[in-house]
Amino acid sequence: MLSLEGLQIVQDDFRLEADLTLAAGARIAVIGPSGAGKSTLLGAIAGFQPAQAGRILWHGDRIDTLPPGRRPLSMLFQDQNLFPHLTVAQNLGLGLDPSLRRVDHRAVDAVLERVGLSGLSARKPAQLSGGQQSRAALARCLLRARPILLLDEPFAALGPALKAEMLALLAETAGPALVLMVTHDPGDARAFADQTVLVAEGRAEPARPTATLLDHPPPALAAYLGQG
């Protein structure tokens, strides 16, 4: 169970508050107007965005005092998810051991097969297509097998078909992890997430069933969706 208790992030005249709890294993969409703080919220949970007040707990233990790499989570960024000078296998191996000394290569090969990248382990990221790069980055998250997975629009640059494919792959492979996915697309939220966190007007609201929220949007969301 991930709890944000009285979390406050203040940056110049930007302000975001969050007071909510998310169940382990849930699929959560994070939706809201541009600049409302969706990425900031994920950044705070991951440890890249310092909070001015509040606590972040996982199953009752504080995690907001830990450095990003020690938190029980993996994160996919909008870009720069792979080191261009390392091979696909090395990029994945970093998920098992950051020094690349104790890497189980069979595990790497197995997860590559799961995401449909068999035989590409020796390639550099520049030799992969955009969809393949997304798959490789997702494969590393699967290898790390942390109980929380944060997705900051990692598939935004992909076409609709590829994006749908990645969402399906994600749903199939994420297993018991709690997944938080920032998205601009209400369709993605409906397809992937049973619950949605609305980030608007300086607040991250507690999660609500996605269908209910999208069918009866509050004014801020309605304006964003173009239904105002």
Partner 1 sequence: MARRAGALIAAGLGVLTLGPVAVVIWHSGGVAPALSAADWAALRFTVLQAALSALASVTCAVPLARALARRRWPGRGALIAALGAPFLLPVIVAVLGLLAVFGRAGIVNQVLAGLGLPPVSIFGLGGVVLAHVFLNMPLATRMILQGWQAIPAERLRLAESLGFGPADLWRHIEIPMLRAVLPGATLAIFAICLTSFAVVLVLGGGPAATTVELAIYQAVRFDFDLGRAAALAVLQVAACGAGVALAAMVTQGAGFGAGLDRMQPLPAPGGWRLICDVVVITAATAFLAAPLIAVALRGVIGLPDLPGAVWPALGASLLVAGLAAPLAVGAALTLALAVAQGARWQGAAAMLPLAGSSLVLGTGLFLAIRPFANPPDLALPVTVLVTAMIALPFAYRLILPHAQALQADYGRLAAALDLRGWAAFRLLILPRLRRPLGFATGLCAALAIGDLGVIALFATEDGVTLPLVIQRLMGAYRTDAAAATALLLVIAAFGVFCICDRWGRADAEP
Binding site for partner 1 (CB under 8 A): 46-48, 67-70, 74-75, 77, 79-81, 83-86, 90, 94-95, 98-100, 124-126
- Cα distance between the two ends of the chain: 35
Whole-number Cα distances in Å, 227 to 145, 175, 201, 215, 223: 39, 35, 17, 10, 6
Nearer to partner 1, 73 or 220 (CB): 73
CB of 144 to partner 1, least distance (A): 8
Q: Which is nearer to partner 1, 70 or 216 (CB)?
A: 70
Both tokens of 206, joined, read: 């507690």
CB of 221 to partner 1, least distance (A): 29
**Spatial separation of the C-alpha atoms in residues 75 and 181, rounded to whole Å:** 10
Taking the complex as a whole, how short is the minimal distance between the CB of residue 150 and partner 1, in angstroms?
9
DSSP letters for 43-81? HHHHTSS--SEEEEEETTEE-TTS-GGGSSEEEE-SS--
Nearer to partner 1, 46 or 198 (CB): 46
Cβ distance to partner 1 smaller for residue 149 or 220: 149
Rank residues 34 and 80 by Cβ distance to partner 1 and give the closer one: 80
For residue 75, the minimal CB distance to partner 1 (Å) is 5
Give the nearer residue to partner 1 in terms of CB position, either 66 or 191. Answer: 66
How far apart are alpha carbons 65 and 60 in whole angstroms? 13
Contact present, 28 and 196 (Cβ < 8 Å): yes
Sign of the torsion angle spanned by Cα atoms 84, 89, 94, 95? positive
Q: Which two tokens stand for residue 186?
A: 């209400």
* 3-class secondary structure, 206: coil
